[in-house]
Amino acid sequence: MPEIKAPWCPVAATVEVIGGRWKLNILFYLKDRPRRFNELRRLVPGITQRMLTLQLRSLEQDGIVSRTVHETVPPHVEYSFTKKGLSLGPILDAMEEWGEAHRPRRRGRAGFDTQTPLPR
């Protein structure tokens, strides 16, 4: 039986890059300014150090995020959007706006109060 290929879908291609449990949270906090690794870890509840590392590497490989090592004492690493990543800004803004407009008035699936404003 011949394999049937689905037609290419640009929405599916976008979801493949930014989808998953953690990536949108990471991108949400990076959209306003660069963040250090531990700062992201504190801002994204429930993510492990290993998972944050894997997700940031994946976003880096896709050209969405860049990693900068600052040669200070002690050294630190900062993550920020690339030019390609910045082009996701309007999408993230639209998703944020939609989420605010349609925010559930009960506890969300992640277990946190959905009426409490998110930290910036």
pLDDT in tens, 87-98: 999 999 999 999
CA distance 98 to 29: 17
pLDDT of residue 42: 95
The pTM assigned to this predicted structure is 0.77
Would you tell me how many other CB atoms lie within 10 Å of the CB of residue 116? 7
CA distance 101 to 99: 5
Cα within 13 Å of Cα(81), Cβ side: 19
pLDDT in tens, 24-77: 999 999 999 999 999 999 999 899 999 999 999 999 999 999 999 988 888 889
Contact of 51 with 45, CB cutoff 8 Å: no
Helices (H), the chain: 10-18, 23-30, 37-43, 49-61, 83-86, 89-101
What's phi and psi for 107, nearest 5 deg?
A: -70, 135
pLDDT of residue 53: 96
pLDDT of residue 63: 96
Of 74, 72, 81, 71, nearest in space to 35 by CA: 81
